[in-house]
Every structure is written in C-alpha cells, then in structure tokens.
Amino acid sequence: MTIKSLSIITACAAIMATTASCTKDLNRLPYVQETSETVYKDPVKIKGVLAKLYGSLCLSGQHYEDNSLSDIVTDNTGTNVFLRNYWQLQELTTDEAVIGWNDGDLLSFHNLNFTPDGKYVKVLYDRIFFGVAACNEFLRQTAEEKMSSFPADVAADIQEYRYEARFLRAFYYWTAIDMYGKVPFVTEADPVGAFQPKQISRADLFTYLETELKALEELLPEPRTNEYGRADKGAAWMLLAKLYLNAKVYTGTEKNSETITYCNKLMTNSPYALAADYSQLFKTDNDKTAEIIFPVMADGVTSQSYGNTTFIVLGSIGGSMNVADYGVSTAWGGMRTTRAIVDLFPDPFGTVDKRAMFYSTGQNLDIADIASFNDGYAVPKFKNISSTGQAGSDPTRRFTDTDFPMFRLGDAYLMYAEAVVRGGSGGSVAEAVNYVNLLRRRAYGNNNGDISATQLTLDFILAERGRELYWEAKRRTDLVRFGKLTNGSYLWPFKGGVASGTGVQEKYNVFPIPTTDRIANPNLVQNDGY
C-alpha cells in the first residue's frame, strides 16, 4: 500500500473513537469497522492508519459526500476538508481571490470582518485539531512498549511512521500558530477522554515546534528517499524555514539567519531542482518534478474529494470557459482574482511572464459585483490535465489527480532572498539575486526579466511572491508578515468590504478562537479584539 492510495483506510474507528481529547465540541460520528485492539496488531493496518493521517489533509473522511462517514460533520461533506478550508482562509482574505458564493461566512473573509461564530472559521479550526488528535492517538497506540512483539524490522518501520506522524502534528500546529495564534495544546502524553487542554501562547508554541522539528530533522528519511507524498528531512527543513521567517509575527523576535540556514539545506547539494516548466507544477504529473518538497495529494479514482485540488480547479472555472480545456466535466464558477494581482504582471496572458495564467474572455478586470463570476479575471492555474495534455484518471472528470504543492523549492528561493534583505546572516545579496533570477528566467524563458541587487527590496519580494506563488495558499501569511493585510498602506478591490479597499482593525491579522470551543473549554482565552 502506498500513501497515494488514500482509499485504503481500515483503521478509522481506532482514531475517531479517541480524538475528542483535543477539542470537545467536534461533532463526529464514528464509523466502526475495527478497533485499536485489532488494527494495531497488524503492520499493514498500522500503515493504513498512517495513510489516514495523510488523508486528513485532503479527504472528508471515509466518503466524499456521505456525512455519516465524515471525520467531522458539516452541512455539506465536501466543505469539511482541511486543504479546502486552509486555501479559503489564506486566499479569500487577500488581494489574490474573491468568491461569489454566499455560503456561511465565506464573504466575511475578503471583507475582513469574520467573527468567532463563523462557519468556516470553525471548520478549519476543527480540522486542525482533528488532525492533531489523530496524530496523538497514533503515537499512543504505536508506543515502543506496544510494538515490542513485532519482529525488529517491522518495529523499525513503525518507528519511522511515528516520526512522520510527529511531523504531521507539527504541520497542523504550525497552521494553528499562524492562523489562530494561541490555541489549545495536547500531545500523546495527555489523557484521553474528559479533558480540557490548556491554552499555549504563540511564543511557547513556537518553541515547541522549533524543538520538535529540529529533533525530526535528524530522524526523518533523507530528502526524496521516502515514498512520494510522505514527509522527509526536506519537509522538516521547509517547515522550520517557514517558522523562522514568520518568527517576528509569532514571537516578536526575528529569526532571519535561521531561515537562511534551513533554506540553504534545501538548496545546497540537495536533490531538489526547479521544474523546467512552471505550469507543470499545477498539472496531474507534477509528482514527476523534483521541485515539490511536500504535496497534499489527489487521485481522481482512489482519493475522491471535493476539498483537494478538485475544489481549486472546479471553483476557478466558469463564464465562457470550456471545462474540457481543464480536464474536468463541470464548472462551479466561484473564485476570481482582483486587478491588484493581474497588475503585478507585464500582461495577463503569459506573453512575457509565463506565470500569468488568467482567463479574460467575457470577464471584467475590475470587480463591481463580488457575486458575479464575470467580475474579475478567472485563474485556471491548476488543471486536471498532464503536461502532455491528457485528462485525469477519473472517467467522470469530476475529481482531479493534481497534487497541491504545499511546499516547493521556488518558495524556498524567495524565502532565502527575503531573509537576506531583512538582514539575516549566512547568505548574500548576490546569491539572493541569483535565486530570484533563476525563477524569473524560467518565467520569461530568457534573462530579460533579470533584476539587479538594487532592485531586490522588500516591496519587490512581496510582489514577486505574488507572481510566483499566487493561488498556492501563501498570501495571507505573507501580507501579515509584511504588515500589509489589515492597515491602509496597501489596498485592493473590496478589501474591508469597500469597493476601493480600506484598512481594517489589526485583530484580523489572526482568526478568532471559535465560540463553540471556548464554551466547551473554559481554559481558552479569546484573541484580542474579538
């Protein structure tokens, strides 16, 4: 069984029966096929539970539309997936994306007026802590003393799975520190059952993550030696680099030199390399590139989901767009971008900079009506076709095969450059310019887009991150780090719910703790201002 085959999940009950130890308010219905007494006595099934941990990033649960088989229950099974909600909260709050659907609190994100009672504010929070709880339970059940009856080689494999579970837990906690700030904190050492976890400060959670990831970088497999889609040292290095790059937001103290250290690990004498064709990174065969460091996987047959890249692809198609051009059979007509992102490029059609992948036929560049798909250029960056033009594997063309590049090398190049400009040691301006120009030469097909050292400023880097990484769920974190998300120094259409854009309160730099979890756990204190 490979982790790509996320449909093989026989251990759901072993996780779901115990995950309430993290947050008490999650409304879940256990789907009992087997219990931990049988699952954790079979190495194949133990690996199936590991697949479940990875699957929680991209799947609803045991079925893509049967709510009774969901990990967490919402009014629409397809809306409860981690990646879908992470993408929405990272993108819709920024200049990169608007959405026309009036579902729950979706419109509050671009308006930057979300509240602790918001539907999707809660769904992402619940998804994060379901993931944390599932990882904790896996670690409890695979403790060394419980695995001692297995042959040495089998026990060694299970120990490797444990390292991956610890990485996934760290990944979830990183999304928590970034999105929600101070959150409940639980590990496998805490009790199961009627337990109300203490809240951890952002600074203390940063220290925990730093310590845990530095331990894991010594334990995980070497980069690109694990099965594709599974965590390795490279994933740990990238997560550490991201943690350090945002350290001032999380702790008040910059860690730019540390960012450079870990970017260097990814870029120096490593097996990672830029994809020759930028567009392949967003197609069904992106797993064939050496650029992706950690993907959230999709398979149109074995891991069907309305919350992986299926959501991004279908939600980005509408108007006069021909669905067959994108390898799918339907269009949802939801997301578009604002003029602010289109204007970052020399032209919107990729004539000069091939990273510009906008659809303008029948679309208005300026947005007058958020609800109209025709207002704002469409962004068909992700496609359910291969680099050779073949559609994805699902014969109905409803579900995608395109993996989501959560971490990739191009991002590390820009992180290195930013950390250098911010004054970090261990790098150089000359090398930073070189890394930026490598990305721009891929984009331009020549050196016409090369920049000089004097052009490498923070404003340039933020704009270049927009050109390189738009639609990849990075923008909100970037704008917060650059001090641009909430104040009036940078405006975009309908920021703050105003057509011309307006500044909003600083409290919106972090999402609120959902009201339901504060009611369930009196240890939790709300983020300031909510």
Torsion of CA 56, 57, 60, 62, to 10 degrees: -40
Asked whether the beta carbons of 228 and 203 are under 8 A apart, the reply is: no
**pLDDT at position 19 over 50:** no
In a domain, 42, yes or no: yes
407, β-bridge pairs: 294
In a domain, 123, yes or no: yes
Terminal CA-CA length for the chain: 46
Confidence of residue 37 (pLDDT cuts 50, 70, 90): confident
Higher pLDDT, 400 or 29: 400
Mean local confidence (pLDDT), 393-406: 97
- Structurally, how many domains does the chain consist of? 1
Residues 6 or more apart in contact with residue 397 via CB below 8 angstroms? 323, 327, 328, 329, 330, 384, 391
Listed in sequence order, the DSSP H helices in 142-232 are 152-179, 202-216
For residue 66, the SS3 value is coil
Higher pLDDT, 14 or 154: 154
Mean local confidence (pLDDT), 329-342: 98
The reported pTM is 0.94
Measuring CA to CA, how many Å separate 3 from each of 15, 82, 289? 17, 17, 18
pLDDT of residue 3: 39
pLDDT in tens, 307-326: 999 999 999 999 999 999 99
pLDDT of residue 13: 37
In a domain, 10, yes or no: no
**pLDDT at position 255 over 50:** yes
Name the E strands within 203-312.
Answer: 292-296
CATH number for the domain including 180? 1.25.40.390
**pLDDT at position 9 over 80:** no
Give the chain's mean pLDDT.
93
**pLDDT at position 8 over 50:** no
Take residue 249 and report the two structure tokens written for it. Answer: 């937001």
In a domain, 331, yes or no: no
Higher pLDDT, 239 or 14: 239
In a domain, 365, yes or no: no
In a domain, 66, yes or no: yes
pLDDT of residue 489: 95
Cα–Cα distance, 118 to 116 (Å, whole number): 6
Confidence of residue 36 (pLDDT cuts 50, 70, 90): confident
In a domain, 188, yes or no: yes
Cα–Cα distance, 264 to 324 (Å, whole number): 41
Higher pLDDT, 14 or 188: 188
**pLDDT at position 193 over 50:** yes
Torsion of CA 47, 52, 54, 56, to 10 degrees: -170
**What's the domain range around 57?**
36-80+115-219+500-529
Mean local confidence (pLDDT), 373-401: 97
The secondary structure of residue 272, as a DSSP letter, is -
**pLDDT at position 27 over 60:** no
Confidence of residue 33 (pLDDT cuts 50, 70, 90): low
pLDDT in tens, 147-156: 999 999 999 9
pLDDT in tens, 492-525: 999 999 999 999 999 999 999 999 999 999 999 9
Tokens 């020399």 correspond to what residue? 346
Mean local confidence (pLDDT), 250-278: 97
pLDDT in tens, 480-496: 999 999 999 999 999 99
Confidence of residue 5 (pLDDT cuts 50, 70, 90): very low
pLDDT in tens, 214-238: 999 999 999 999 999 999 999 999 9
pLDDT in tens, 64-103: 888 888 898 888 888 999 999 999 999 999 999 999 999 9
In a domain, 12, yes or no: no
**pLDDT at position 251 over 70:** yes
